[in-house]
Amino acid sequence: MHQFVSSAMHERSAFSQGDQAFKQAIGEGRFSIIGATTLAEFHHHIEPDGAIVRRFGLMRIDPPTPRETLSILRGRRTQFEEHYRPLSVPDEVLRQCVERSEEYLLGRHQPDKALDVLDEACAEAQSAGDATVTERHVLLAIQDEVGRSTTAEILSVDSVATRLAERIVGQDAVVREVSGRFVTGLSDPWLERRGPRGCWMFVGQTGTGKTELALALAGLLGGGRDAVIRIDCNTLGSGNDPGPALSRLLGASRGYVGYARGEGGLLSRIRHTPEALVLFDEIEKTSPKVGDTLLQLMDEGQISDADNNVLDFRRAFVIFTTNAGADDTRPSIGFVDHGVPPHRNAAEPARRQLSAAGFSSAFLARIEAWLAFQPLTREAGELLVRRRLAEVERAASQRGYVVRWDESVVGCVLDEWAPRAGARLAFDILQQRVTQQLLLAERNGDLAGVATIELRAEPGPGHDLGNVTSEVIKDTLVVTLG
């Protein structure tokens, strides 16, 4: 219907020439017409033409209830069984399609989403050569939609903590608490949950693992797929005018530069990845008004984009990171709760700085957990260097080389590394002094006939990592850090 009416907006269209005659014919009752359109299309194309609106009686059709949807599926069962002959579709599978689509596909309406799940489940069963559609096929169909492995075993706090610790070092307390909150968020709540599955603030110096921990959680959530919606707040813009930032998040409004119908903004990705981790990186670098805009998302788990489409975040985790307060060592004002873990009390300076920067108390109060990442120690840096050297070994092995290194290499890198610079500096040192040298040697043909790469460091204090030498001894390339 909206396509029919919108063509009248163009002066040279065939419909525009008969526009008045069409309206007159409807008004005089010379023929009947039933039109169908979406609410958004009605507001955009039809409602501006008051003459057309007056000649139609408006009827809003709400989505069917789960019980009504089940009746619709029962009526369509024969059609699916005929199409996927000789498959059998039990009544229990129809119920599962309705229940699972209600649970996982929050941003879509019935009966469309239940019918899609049933169609996909039938396709899964047929591909597997099964004669009957089962709940397993329904779960596989849901998994294709949302990304997370719905058929996988239930994650425990210990298993999540172990997998996170493989990527995060020096933050044992934070990893343990995040693991508990993550598992709790994935579980069915005892009480009704209205907002996202979790809303947390990661606080700490740069390079301590805040973003890496968020990405590691997204890897668990995605079941091997990209389940992170990452928003670099540094690119949103700051200042008193939140308009540019909101346009980036929710899409530009009609009539403004950058508007593209149906595209939305960065947050619109939730429609395609409902099981997601939404990461607002360095939230302090954007306008505090953005925080106020996100209140509805944090409260209800829903927010509307520029086209008035509802974006549903009730199956998502929302994480903010900030460097604010990382260098503030002042004690908290008032009484310190000694029953609270240190990594929570240490986040108080960040709360103070964000409040001073203009972020409202309403926004700050809706963050469920403030988790402070501690500065990395030399022991944590040593573990990081060892892990990165192990990655160099694996990469070299894929090229047909064996890499050997001794403890002097680790100590040499740590002597150059400053703990306050975080993990990035340690990685940069290895990149510049080791992997870059190996790549250049390979490009220059120095690795021809080489089977082994040996990494060494000159003994004694005062290493000069800028002095890197290499030589080939028989079938071994020896790289020495000065």
Q: Could you give phi then psi for residue 248, rounded to 5 degrees?
A: -65, -35
What would the pLDDT profile of 16-71 be if each residue is shown by its tens digit?
A: 555 667 777 777 777 788 888 887 778 777 787 777 788 788 888 889 999 999 99
pLDDT value of position 332: 46
Please say whether the dihedral angle defined by the alpha carbons of residues 327, 333, 336 and 341, taken in this order, is positive or negative.
Answer: negative
Comparing CA positions, the residue from 145, 319, 293, 105 lying closest to residue 228 is 319
pLDDT tier at 418 (50, 70, 90 boundaries)?
confident
Q: What is the pLDDT of residues 325-375, one digit of tens each?
A: 776 644 444 444 444 555 556 688 999 999 999 999 999 999 999 999 999
> In the chain, what percentage of residues exceed pLDDT 90?
38
CB-based contact 444:470 (threshold 8 Å): no
How many angstroms separate the Cα of 31 from the Cα of each of 16, 24, 55, 276? 19, 11, 12, 50
Tokens of 447: 């690795």
pLDDT over threshold 80, residue 151 = no
| Tokens coding 25 | 């014919």
The C-alpha atoms of residue 436 and residue 392 are separated, in whole angstroms, by: 11
Question: What is the residue-wise DSSP string for 278-314?
Answer: EEEETGGGS-HHHHHHTHHHHHHSEEE-TT-PEEE-T
Task: Quote the CA–CA distance of 438 and 432 in Å, as a whole number.
Answer: 10
Residue closest to 363 by CA, chosen among 313, 315, 293: 293
CA distances from 218 to 69, 225, 316, 391 (A): 33, 9, 10, 21
Which helix (DSSP H) or strand (DSSP E) does residue 114 occupy? helix 112-128
Cα–Cα distance between 118 and 124 in angstroms, integer? 10
Tokens in use for 418?
Answer: 């400053």
Give me the mean pLDDT over the 83-88 stretch.
93
Q: How far is CA 352 from CA 201, 289, 325, 336, 346, in A?
A: 13, 17, 8, 15, 11
**C-alpha span between 353 and 110 (Å, rounded):** 46
What pairs with residue 198 in β-bridges?
Answer: 317
Tokens of 147: 């990304």
User: For the segment 380-406, what is each residue's pLDDT rounded down to a tens digit?
Assistant: 888 988 988 998 899 889 988 899 988
Q: Which amino acid is present at 432?
A: Q
Lowest mean pLDDT among 81-95, 151-165, 255-269, 347-361: 255-269
For residue 199, what is the enclosing H or E element? strand 198-203
Longest dimension (CA), the chain: 100
Question: With pLDDT > 70 as the criterion, what percentage of the chain qualifies?
Answer: 83
CA distances to 61, 98, 100, 119 from 71, in Å: 17, 10, 16, 16
Q: With a cut of 60, say whether residue 13 has pLDDT above it.
A: no
What per-residue confidence (pLDDT) applies to 148? 63
d(CA 366, CA 362): 7
In this structure, what is the dihedral angle of CA atoms 313, 294, 187, 99, given to the nearest 10 degrees?
A: -30
Q: From the CB of residue 81, how many other CB atoms can be counted at a distance below 10 Å?
A: 15
Rg (alpha carbons) of the chain, rounded to whole number? 29
Give 220's pLDDT tier (boundaries 50, 70, 90).
Answer: confident
pLDDT at 12 over 70: no
Pairing of strands 317-322, 228-232: unpaired
Strand partners, 456: 480
pLDDT at 482: 64
Domains of the chain and CATH, by start: 2-54 (no CATH), 66-146 (1.10.8.60), 157-372 (3.40.50.300), 378-481 (1.10.8)
Is the per-residue pLDDT at 214 higher than 60? yes
Interatomic CA distance for residues 306 and 112, integer angstroms: 24
DSSP state of 242: -
Apex CA 73: angle with CA 68 and CA 78, to 5°?
Answer: 145
Q: What is the pLDDT of residues 95-147, one digit of tens each?
A: 999 999 988 887 788 999 999 999 999 999 999 999 999 999 999 998 877 76
Report how far apart, in Å, the C-alpha atoms of 167 and of each of 105, 216, 318, 377, 414 are. Answer: 31, 7, 20, 16, 19
Lowest mean pLDDT among 172-186, 246-260, 331-345, 429-443: 331-345
How far apart are the C-alpha atoms of 342 and 375, rounded to whole Å?
Answer: 13
Is 364 or 413 the better-scoring residue by pLDDT?
364
Share the mean pLDDT of the chain: 83
pLDDT digits (tens, 9 = 90+) for 156-202: 899 999 999 999 998 999 999 999 999 998 876 666 678 999 999 99
Half-sphere exposure of 329 (CA within 13 A, CB side): 3
The residues, any chain, with a CB within 8 Å of residue 16's CB and separated by 6 or more, are 7, 8, 9, 10
Confidence of residue 434 (pLDDT cuts 50, 70, 90): confident
pLDDT value at residue 149: 52
Say if CB 96 and CB 138 are below 8 A apart: yes
Residue 184 has which token pair?
């709790």
In the chain, the amino acid numbered 7 is S
Range in 85-94, 372-381, 435-444 with the lowest mean pLDDT: 435-444
